Amino acid sequence: MEFRKNSAVSFDGYQRRVVVDPANCAVSATYDYILNDPRFEGITPFENKIWLSSPTMHGDEQKWVDEAIQTNWVSTVGANINEVERITAEMTGSKYAVALSAGTAALHLGIKLCAEKLYGQPKAGHGSLEGKKVFASDMTFDATVNPIAYEGGEAVFIDTEYDTWNMDPTALEKAFELYPEVRLIVVAHLYGTPGKIDEIKAIADKHNALIVEDAAESFCATYKGKQTGTFGDVGVLSWNGNKIITGSSGGMLLTDSEEWANKARKWSTQSREDAAWYQHEELGYNYRMSNIVAGVVRGQLPYTMEHVAQKKAIYERYKEGLKGLPVKMNPFDSETSEPNCWLSCLLIDEEAMAPFVRGEKESLYRSEPGKSSPTEILDALAAINAEGRPIWKPMHMQPIYRSNPFITAHGSGRARSNAYISENGAVDVGADIFNRGICLPSDNKITPEQQDIIIDVIQRCFR
Ligand SMILES: Cc1ncc(COP(=O)(O)O)c(C=O)c1O
């Protein structure tokens, strides 16, 4: 393989245009060569970038931020925080909502609340999950599972099912066969699609396990009419910049326990005891939401369902526009679930996959008539100034978690082959969806005309 400045890399027939910076030999991909491919003739890149999912402000945010500044409540206390907690509890049907600096902070405190209930409070300097395993969603963003490691625990990743792209209850049941001592499950609802939470809850109850439910991406998505984030012992929402509504950052911890809500508020404000001086009897964190951030969230909350409706329309337009191609949209169970359609995704049919390879950070592909690959489609989108993403890479494939157990519906997903016996054909569902899927530009400000161009470009990838 030979690198030259702004030249195509040729690797056994696989093509990808790269730029090599002569100063430090850093290699980066460029996409403009796509537009010289006859398949994309007549396509002009968007002047303004089409984002995967970006903030959409409405004006009320400014009002509440200004009020906080004018009244000098520029702190981690104030009316905006109180209102955001009240409205979020009301909208979700959770008894209590605790406003925090991020969804990750809510996951950390939620996991710690469960861990201390199960195993007691550790000494300062020790994690509440030391020596303990926790079952966790595998195909998710790493923020779902990292707090298990913050607390010294070991995540055991549970494979994904094809019906909703979330935790597979069959694999979860298998995991309890292998590790019956486990008492905590962290489960996410990916891309705004509710997972099989009833089945997961029934398995948890059978094994006397607690649930932390990561609804960071699924605010206002419902399962059997009930809000995601309210099925677990603790639920988590995120208001980061790419979510269905945003505060620029921020997150919420949902619980029906007054004691846990008060504990989370205490831990999030450095665990001060009721004394005139700084008195501490347990470890604290600086995790409370700021009243300025809460002002943005307060302004956004009334527009949530408007954003959800826009996201649903985007999903439906993709579904209609991509009909006839060998692809499927990210699925949901219409009998039980109302997704918020936060991200629209597609999955290429197996027989329509063109060859492509991924390393740890780079990817090469080959074009073939009638076929395409995630890398080709993402490069084509990048070439027209639109942002797509690979599917969230499953946790069991991440270098940091490569030695953690991974359980599929058929048992351990690690070390499955045998040099002397052919493999049993068990599928690693997460790896398969990661291999064949992509997240499509799903910004709620995208126009139908812009979406038509994106759909056209995807269709051309398969020519
Ligand atoms: C599934 C999931 N969990 C947790 C988080 C973490 O939320 P935050 O970015 O607010 O910390 C995110 C988003 O970033 C997410 O997508």
Binned at pLDDT 50, 70 and 90, residue 5 comes out as very low
Our mutation pick for probing the ligand 1 site, out of 108, 160, 217, counting the most ligand atoms within 8 A of Cβ, is 217
For ligand 1, say whether the CB of 103 is within 6 Å of any of its atoms: yes
Q: Which ligand 1 atom is at minimum distance from the Cα of 105?
A: 11
- What would the mean pLDDT of 101-121 be, rounded to a whole number? 98
Residues 6 or more apart whose Cβ sits within 8 Å of residue 249: 101, 102, 239, 240, 241, 293
Ramachandran region, residue 220 (left: φ > 0; alpha: ψ -120 to 50; beta: rest): left
Q: What's the whole-number mean pLDDT along residues 99-105? A: 98
Per-residue pLDDT, 30:
66
Q: How many CB atoms lie within 10 A of CB 323?
A: 10
CB 137 near ligand 1, within 6 Å? no
Distance CA 139, CA 212 (A): 16
pLDDT at 15: 56
pLDDT at 311 over 50: yes
Collect all residues with Cβ–Cβ distance below 8 Å to 223 and sequence separation of at least 6.
194, 197, 198, 231, 336, 337, 338
Give residue 92's identity as a one-letter amino acid code.
Answer: T
Fold of 60-302: Aspartate Aminotransferase; domain 2 (3.40.640)
Q: How confident is the model at residue 6 (pLDDT cuts 50, 70, 90)?
A: very low
CA 353 to chain centre: 25
User: What separation in Å is there between the alpha carbon of 103 and the centre of ligand 1?
Assistant: 5
Ligand 1 pocket, residue 235 CB under 6 Å: no
**217: Cβ below 6 Å to ligand 1?**
yes
Q: Which atom of ligand 1 is nearest to the CA of 238?
A: 10
pLDDT score for 379: 93
Closest atom of ligand 1 to 190 CA is 1
According to DSSP, the residues that pair with 240 across neighbouring strands are 248
Query: Which atom, in ligand 1's list, is nearest to the CA of 104?
Result: 11
pLDDT level of residue 35 (50, 70, 90 thresholds): confident
Q: Does an H or E element contain 329, and which?
A: strand 327-329
User: Which helix (DSSP H) or strand (DSSP E) does residue 116 occupy?
Assistant: helix 103-119
For 343-400, write each residue's pLDDT tens digit.
999 999 999 999 999 999 889 899 999 999 999 999 999 999 999 999 999 999 999 9
Total Cβ atoms within 10 A of residue 336: 15
Q: Given ligand 1 and candidates 104, 167, 218, which is best to mutate, with the most ligand atoms within 8 Å of its CB? A: 104
* Residue 421 predicted with pLDDT over 90: no
- At 17, is the pLDDT very low, low, confident or very high (cuts 50, 70, 90)? low
- Is 214 a pocket residue for ligand 1 (Cβ < 6 Å)? yes
Ligand 1 lined by 213 (C-beta under 6 Å): no
* Token pair recorded at residue 317: 């337009």
144 CA distance to ligand 1 middle (Å): 7
Tokens of 380: 């084509």
Alpha-carbon span 217 to 191, nearest angstrom: 6
Q: Where exactly are the structural domains of the chain?
A: 7-54+305-393+428-461, 60-302
Confidence (pLDDT) at 257: 98
**Hey, which bits of 63-183 come out as E strands?**
96-100, 133-137, 154-158
Selection from 104, 135, 131, 105 nearest residue 120 by Cα? 131
- Cα of 84 to ligand 1 centre, how many Å? 18
Report the Cα–Cα distance between both ends of the chain, in Å, rounded.
Answer: 28
d(CA 362, CA 16): 10
- Report yes or no: 165 and 182 within 8 Å, Cβ to Cβ: no
Question: Can you point out the beta strands (E) in 128-276?
Answer: 133-137, 154-158, 184-188, 210-214, 222-223, 226-227, 234-238, 251-255
Q: Which atom of ligand 1 is nearest to the CA of 239?
A: 10
At residue 36, the pLDDT reads 85
Distances (CA, A) of 313 to 96, 128, 176, 339, 422: 32, 44, 40, 12, 46
For the Cβ of 375 lying below 6 angstroms from any atom of ligand 1, the answer is: no
Rg (CA), the chain: 23
CB atoms within 10 A of CB 48: 8
Dist. CA 84–CA 369, nearest whole Å: 52
| Ligand 1 pocket, residue 92 CB under 6 Å | no
For ligand 1, say whether the CB of 229 is within 6 Å of any of its atoms.
no
Predicted local confidence at residue 121, as pLDDT: 97
Q: Which atom of ligand 1 is nearest to the CA of 249?
A: 10
Say how far apart CA 229 and CA 238 lie, in whole Å: 11
Partner residues linked to 251 by β-bridges: 100, 238
Spacing, Cα 105 to ligand 1 middle (Å)? 9
The values of phi and psi at residue 295, to 5°, are -65, -40
What DSSP string runs through 239-291? Answer: -BTTSSS-SBSBEEEEES-HHHHHHHHHHHBTT--SSSS---SS---B-BPPH
Q: Is the CB of 52 under 6 A from ligand 1?
A: no
Distance, CA of 262 to chain centre: 27
For domain 7-54+305-393+428-461, is the CATH number 3.90.1150.10? yes
Indicate the average pLDDT of the chain. 94
- From ligand 1's centre to the CA of 141, what distance in Å? 7
Do the beta carbons of residue 94 and residue 229 sit within 8 Å? yes
